[in-house]
């Protein structure tokens, strides 16, 4: 099986001045994940590596760069899933951890549970020796500025939610195993303790070797209502291609509950799709040693991996 990885940096509206950084961020993540696959690593290793790369990139609403809740704090959610045996691990409302996706994987591999939240996740992180970092370290000036604006009496937080930025990855490795990973800071100025779709299996992501893997982004409550990730795999089980399955599910979410979002998909044959009903979604994929990436509907750049790695060394 030829390995494939697809990543997204969130669906929504990407402001002009942030486009380049978002493009570079998803490309870097896809190349890192693909590097893992090329060295014989597993799909789970690859999606974790890709998502960690974006958690560390302040352009995205995950890890460093996460948006703030109503109290001005970062609370993050993440999920990872292994399509081989349907094992999954997730964390929700976690603070003071640089890479929630790493913690989610530890939940999957070191506990009998699938989801740990808030204080329990914090205790588990300590037990696993994950370094605690000051919450301030995860906060960017942009997130703080947005939080302040949303506190103003005449503000419209909904307007700001359009620029989301959840991150995710799906992959198939040389042995035909699939995996997904998704990580987010959630919604700006959300209630304390709000958990969206990301940490919920079947909503924020799903992976099953029998059909494929998907990671979602967009309005969390809408995604949860239609269980978007599992819905896409259901459509593929009925014989739809990744692209048609993604479009059908996104269209259903829009017409049924008025929700917009984006998805990345890979099926068990290694066919992939990156589709969205929002204005934009940053995405990148590597297959057959070729990198594809874009932000706008219909936009697709293609480079060889060697050329992309060269550009990466030169600063994109």
Q: What is the DSSP string of 161-175?
A: HTB---EEEEEE-TT
Reduced to 3 states, what is the DSSP secondary structure of residue 65? coil
- Rounded to an integer, the average pLDDT of 123-147 is 91
pLDDT at 147: 84
User: Was 196 annotated as part of a binding site?
Assistant: yes
Cβ atoms 81, 213 nearer than 8 A: yes
The string of pLDDT tens digits covering residues 56-107 is 999 999 999 999 999 999 999 999 999 999 999 999 999 999 999 999 999 9
Q: For the chain, how many structural domains are there in total?
A: 1
Q: How confident is the model at residue 36 (pLDDT cuts 50, 70, 90)?
A: very high
Residue 218, marked binder: yes
pLDDT greater than 80 at residue 276: yes
197 is in an annotated binding site: yes
Q: Hey, which residues are catalytic here?
A: 166
- Asked whether the beta carbons of 177 and 86 are under 8 A apart, the reply is no
CATH number (domain holding residue 263): 3.60.20.30
**DSSP 8-state symbol, 137:** G
Q: Rounded to 5 degrees, what angle do the CA atoms 114, 189, 156 make?
A: 135
Q: Is 7 annotated as a binding residue?
A: no
- Residues in contact with 213: Cβ distance below 8 Å, sequence separation at least 6, in sequence order: 43, 81, 83, 170, 171, 172, 178, 179, 180, 205, 206, 207, 233, 265, 266
φ, ψ for residue 57, nearest 5 deg: -100, 115
Q: How far is 229 from 105, CA to CA, in rounded Å? A: 19
What does the block give as tokens for 166?
């959840």
What does the mean pLDDT of the chain come to?
93
Residue 12 pLDDT > 60: yes
Percent of the chain beyond pLDDT 70? 96
Domain with 264 in it: 4-314
Give the CA distances from residue 260 to residues 17, 74, 202, 224, in Å, rounded to whole numbers and listed in that order.
Answer: 23, 24, 17, 12
Cα distance between residue 132 and residue 125, in whole Å:
8
Number of CB atoms found within 10 A of residue 195's CB? 20
């Amino acid at each position: 099986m030829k390995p494939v990885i697809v990543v997204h940096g969130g669906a929504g509206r990407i402001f002009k001045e942030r486009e380049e950084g978002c493009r570079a961020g998803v490309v870097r993540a896809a190349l890192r994940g693909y590097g893992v696959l090329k060295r014989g690593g597993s799909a789970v290793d690859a999606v974790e590596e890709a998502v960690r790369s974006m958690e560390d990139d302040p352009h995205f609403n995950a890890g460093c760069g996460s948006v703030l809740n109503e109290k001005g704090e970062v609370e993050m959610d993440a999920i990872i899933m292994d399509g081989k045996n349907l094992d999954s691990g997730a964390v929700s409302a976690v603070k003071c951890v640089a890479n929630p996706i790493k913690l989610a994987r530890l939940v999957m591999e070191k506990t009998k549970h699938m989801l740990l939240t808030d204080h329990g996740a914090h205790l588990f992180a300590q037990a696993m020796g994950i370094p605690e970092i000051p919450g301030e370290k995860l906060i960017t000036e942009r997130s703080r500025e947005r939080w302040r604006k949303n506190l103003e009496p005449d503000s419209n937080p909904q307007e700001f939610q359009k620029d989301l930025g959840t991150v995710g990855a799906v992959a198939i490795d040389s042995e035909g195993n699939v995996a997904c990973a998704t990580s987010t800071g959630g919604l700006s100025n959300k209630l304390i303790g709000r958990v969206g779709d990301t940490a919920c299996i079947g909503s924020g992501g799903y992976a099953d070797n029998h059909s494929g893997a998907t990671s979602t982004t967009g309005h969390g409550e809408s995604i949860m209502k239609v269980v978007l990730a599992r819905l896409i795999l259901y459509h593929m089980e009925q014989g739809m291609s990744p692209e048609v399955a993604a479009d059908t599910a996104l269209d259903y979410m829009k017409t049924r509950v008025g929700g917009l979002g984006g998805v990345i998909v890979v099926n068990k044959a290694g066919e992939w799709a990156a589709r969205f009903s929002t204005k934009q979604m940053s995405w990148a994929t590597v297959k057959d040693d070729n990198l594809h990436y874009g932000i706008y509907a219909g936009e697709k750049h293609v480079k060889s991996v060697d050329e992309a790695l060269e550009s990466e060394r030169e600063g994109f």
